[in-house]
Amino acid sequence: MTTPSPTHTTDVAIIGAGPAGLFAAFECGMLKLGCVLIDALDEIGGQCAALYPEKPIYDIPAHPAIEGGALIGALDQQIAPFDVPRLLGRRVERLEGTRGAFVLGTTKGDVIAARAVIIAAGAGAFGPNRPPLEGLAAFEATGSVQYFVRRRADFAGRDVLIAGGGDSAVDWALSLREVARSVKLVHRRDRFRAAPESLRQLDEAVSRGEVEKIIGYQLHGLHGTDGALAGVDLATLDGTVRHVACDHLLPFFGLATDLGPIAQWGLDTLRGTIPVTPSTCESSLPGIFAVGDVATYPGKLKLILQGFTEGAMAAHAIHPIVHPDRALHFEYSTSKGVPAG
């Protein structure tokens, strides 16, 4: 079977348009490497845009706090001079070739010829871990049960029950207390896996009566009519049941993730991630790089800022693949400015 003619020819194909992918595109542009962004979502931004556009992020350098959507907007503005094509709403289902000559195919029939590939797919395709509750789908359909908060205003004046013990549960309890009529946080034990500062703020909010903690209980049942939630039953391990009246249930039990077709491309993988060489972010297949949450190596921190660094390292490692006869002399952006796209 003959390979279809490319619909796009570029230096670097970047799979994933979340923060790490967007900054990798910027770094490629700074090195005068052409690139194409590809993402399964219909908008750029990855989890920042899809899951928490209004949630503050506190560990972005020079920003004491910045909402996920605002961060994506700033990254989008940063790559604007390079006119990076975006192939959104499609997945890369096929990757063939070798270092310097890859061909990628998408679910919408795009054929991309690229000299190198950067996988910035985050955790891959993602979806919520749903609690095993009878009748759950009807309450999901009306928005009474939600797994992501896109607009805090949707919960204004409402009674909200949040379930979970991680950062998302704690952070949203703190954030929604400012708009909701009441916020209750339920967890099976009085030990939360959240940032120490967030836990300090939670303790203060509980002491002021802004958030109620319900400890030792788990979700047990849903009550309501036609998808409108009226309350949730909680149960202890010994069978004690407590009913909590609420308008919304927000279960934060993590994401179920899947690398999808990426796992079939012959790359070494490790529990849903791609091991890379730390100094270059190159995977086990020459010419294919991984950055952001999908990349792993000893000492890896799953922070957005580390994904930014990895994007820069990958772009510099790709330069000799695209320009083998051109030496790359490092220059600070204050000296060279932003080159034309």
Structure tokens at 16: 């994933």
CA dist., res. 22 & res. 36, Å (int): 10
Would you list the domain boundaries of the chain? Answer: 8-126+256-336, 136-251
Phi then psi for residue 287, to 5 deg, are 90, -10
- What one-letter code names the amino acid at 149? V
47 is in an annotated binding site: yes
Is 148 known as a binding-site position?
no
pLDDT at residue 340, as a whole number: 60
- Burial of 24-38, coded b for 16+ CB within 10 Å and e otherwise, reads bbbbbbbbebbbbbb
Q: Is the pLDDT of residue 70 over 90?
A: yes
pLDDT range class, residue 100, cuts 50, 70, 90: very high
Per CATH, the number for 136-251 is: 3.50.50.60
**Annotated binding-site residue? 52:** yes
The pair phi, psi for residue 237, each rounded to 5°, is -65, -25
Q: What is the rounded CA–CA span in Å between residue 116 and residue 118?
A: 7
pLDDT at 284: 97
Residue 49 or residue 318, greater confidence: 318
What is the DSSP code string of 104-171? EEETT--EEEEEEEEE--TTSEEEE-----TTHHHHHHHTSB-SS-S-GGGGTT-EEEEE-SBHHHHH
Taking a C-beta distance cutoff of 8 angstroms, is the pair 43, 88 a contact? Answer: yes
- Say yes or no to pLDDT of 57 above 90: no
305: pLDDT strictly greater than 60: yes
Beta-bridge partner residues of 225 = 228
106 or 337, higher pLDDT: 106
- Amino acid identity, residue 253? F
Name the residue with higher pLDDT: 292 or 254: 292
The tokens of 251 are what?
Answer: 């279960």
- pLDDT band at residue 251 under the 50/70/90 scheme: very high
Strands 111-119 and 159-163: unpaired
pLDDT at 339 over 80: no
Annotated ligand binding at 126? The verdict is yes
The answer to whether residue 332 scores a pLDDT higher than 80 is no
Mean pLDDT of 255-275: 85
pLDDT at 189 exceeding the cut of 70 = yes
Chain centroid to CA 126: 9
- Give 54's contacts (C-beta < 8 A, 6+ positions apart): 67, 68, 69, 149, 150, 151, 152, 175
What's the pLDDT score for residue 69?
Answer: 92
pTM, full prediction: 0.75
Residue 123: what pLDDT? 63
Contact 263, 92 (CB under 8 A): no
Provide the pLDDT for residue 3: 64
Tell me whether residue 238 is annotated as binding. Answer: no
pLDDT of residue 46: 87
Phi, psi of 9 (to 5 degrees): -120, 125
Fold of 8-126+256-336: FAD/NAD(P)-binding domain (3.50.50)
**Mean pLDDT across 80-97:** 94
For the chain, the C-alpha Rg in angstroms (whole number) is 23
Count the Cβ atoms, other than its own, within 10 Å of residue 103. Answer: 16
